[in-house]
Amino acid sequence: MSHPHPELTAPPALPDNGLRVVALGGLGEVGRNMAVLETKGKLLVIDCGVLFPEDHHPGVDLILPDFSYIADRLDDIVAIVLTHGHEDHIGAVPYLLKLKGDIPIIGSTLTLALVEAKLKEHRIRPYSMAVKEGQREKLGVFDLEFVAVNHSIPDALAVFVRTEAGTLLHTGDFKMDQLPLDGRLTDLRAFARLGEEGVDLFLTDSTNADVPGFTTPELEIAPAIDKVFRHAERRIIVACFSSHVHRVQQVLDAAEKAGRKVAMVGRSMVRNMGIAAELGYLRVPDGILIDIKKIDSLRDDELVLICTGSQGEPMAALSRMANREHRIDVGPGDTVLLASSLIPGNENAVYRIINGLMRLGANVVHKGNAKVHVSGHASAGELLYCYNIVKPRNVLPVHGEWRHMYANAQLAIASGVHEDQVVLAEDGVVVDLVEGVAQVTGVVECGYVYVDGSSVGGADEALLKDRRILRDEGFITCVVVLDAATGKIASGPEITARGFVEDAEIFQQVIPKVERAIEEAVAKGVLDDQQLQQVIRRAVGSWVGGKIRRRPMIIPVVLQA
């Protein structure tokens, strides 16, 4: 089993008979999925998603893949293929198309509808082509065939790529639900047929690879949701992803049985479910939907609200309800149903919301105390089935943290794939398929690109470190006015501190230390403002570290008078 090493360097030129795969996101993380395929000088992009920020990304709205690898080769991109409509697979498309707006987008009907609605907000009119399972399209040096797969959103596709250098099968996100709500199974017959033809490189979803057995069918959670609806005393508030059509369908069906009306809360939820209903992927019972503005006309026990915020997103509706910053006041007797799993890294944010809602008196039902969610990803048993059916020559686990990809690699080896033909890679690592053998050949630049308000790429790790220090350690300013002629202190030092529990008076203790440090520096001939600022920073930092055991941001200001 090959894997990347820290000493990797830039890759060599790709041989004419080679197929190169570079993941710009989605390897070693849950989200930001994006793979770039290259052969004969042409590029094919598979997915282009976002990663949602965590607590250590203060102020960041979204995290994008790093496009620098392809930024000067945009004319070589033949298309962007989208496997399904979740944000972690389509959310970064607008930012890539801002670099070159006429790159064709290929995907299923629902996927394209969701991404086109997003692009409309960015005022981008894309060139798009809708495809469906069984369809085959030739795009220059890439020959694509699309395969139906089952996931937690309708219309998901795997893509099989034929090139002169070899073949590649990318599953996208998938599972093998044998009782799907929409009757659309993962097409294992197509997988077997492609396996017979020969799959040189198999890119497989790793998200649930460390979960034994088989993922529970969606159908089995309906009784648990119905039970929640039967026992709810007042309002029912359901939180899920704004693109989780199957879950919303189950909530609508349960509401119909319980005689309740449903209101959608949140712009993305209203938009996406409207698209799904219009295209026929969501069956909305007659008369069940009402506008959010009319909920006050109904009794609490007649109402269901469907909103976003199941991952603890601070600006989502559920978070604002928990913080009493939303027009909907959650209180005793209300039932809140978190109908989704926890994305790794979001646990603390979600538990904060659960605690906040329970503190307000709500009954919170979640995956931990009821069977109200099933995963959209294949577990270990399903992945083994796929390996045995496809019988790939080489395997590259994708989509997941390192532990998920490692577990997936072990499954591939257990199914008979030779250890040397299982490649574990991280974002930016270059994997070349040459003459039927896949191996790591180098690494390209592939960092996080932050969307911070209207800025894209302006924020960097240094800025986030400053924000974390301000948030966690506080800050101190020290203003000193020096006599320009003598270099002696004319005024100050004036100390201002924020973010400390200590009284302001305690900071007066550092003033003599600052005065002494300045006098010693000036005596040695240090008169430059920036150097004197460093002197002040060291003096204050040394004192506050020893006295208060904190490492705040220190902002020294030196003025000449």
Residue 366 among known ligand-binding residues: no
Helix, strand and coil in the chain, % to nearest 5: 35, 25, 40
- Backbone conformation region of residue 205, classed left if phi is above 0, alpha if psi is from -120 to 50, else beta: beta
What's the pLDDT tens digit per position in 19-40?
999 999 999 888 889 999 999 9
Residue 373 among known ligand-binding residues: yes
Q: Which residue has the tokens 């002629």?
A: 485
What's the pLDDT tens digit per position in 518-545?
777 777 776 777 777 787 788 887 877 7
Coil, strand or helix at 157: strand
List, in order, residues 6 or more apart from 117 with CB less than 8 Å away. Answer: 271, 272, 275
Q: Is the pLDDT assigned to residue 503 strictly greater than 80?
A: no
Residue 26 among known ligand-binding residues: no
Q: Which of 262-271, 317-326, 429-438, 503-512 has the highest mean pLDDT?
A: 429-438
Average pLDDT over every residue of 119-124? 89
**C-alpha radius of gyration, the chain, whole number:** 28
Average pLDDT over every residue of 280-300? 88
Residue 374 among known ligand-binding residues: yes
Q: What is the pLDDT of residue 493?
A: 79
The CA dihedral of 32, 33, 39, 41, to the nearest 10 degrees, is -30
Sign of the dihedral through C-alpha 484, 487, 492, 497? positive
Q: Is the pLDDT assigned to residue 154 strictly greater than 70?
A: yes
Q: At what angle do helices 380-390 and 188-197 cross, to 10 degrees?
A: 40
What's the pLDDT tens digit per position in 360-404?
888 888 777 767 778 889 999 999 999 999 999 999 999 999 999
The amino acid sitting at 272 is N
What's the pLDDT tens digit per position in 544-558?
777 777 788 888 887
Coil, strand or helix at 317: helix
Kindly state the percentage of the chain with pLDDT values over 70.
89
Q: What is the pLDDT of residue 344?
A: 62
Q: Is the pLDDT assigned to residue 459 strictly greater than 70?
A: no
Q: Which of 6-20, 481-495, 509-523 has the highest mean pLDDT?
A: 6-20
Cβ 380 vs Cβ 209: under 8 Å: yes
Average pLDDT over every residue of 128-137? 95
Q: How far apart are CA 42 and CA 73, in angstroms?
A: 9
Q: What is the pLDDT of residue 79?
A: 96
Confidence of residue 207 (pLDDT cuts 50, 70, 90): very high
Average model confidence (pLDDT) for the chain? Answer: 86
More confident call, 151 vs 346: 151
pTM of the model: 0.82
Q: Can you spell out the DSSP letters for 242-257?
A: TT-HHHHHHHHHHHHH
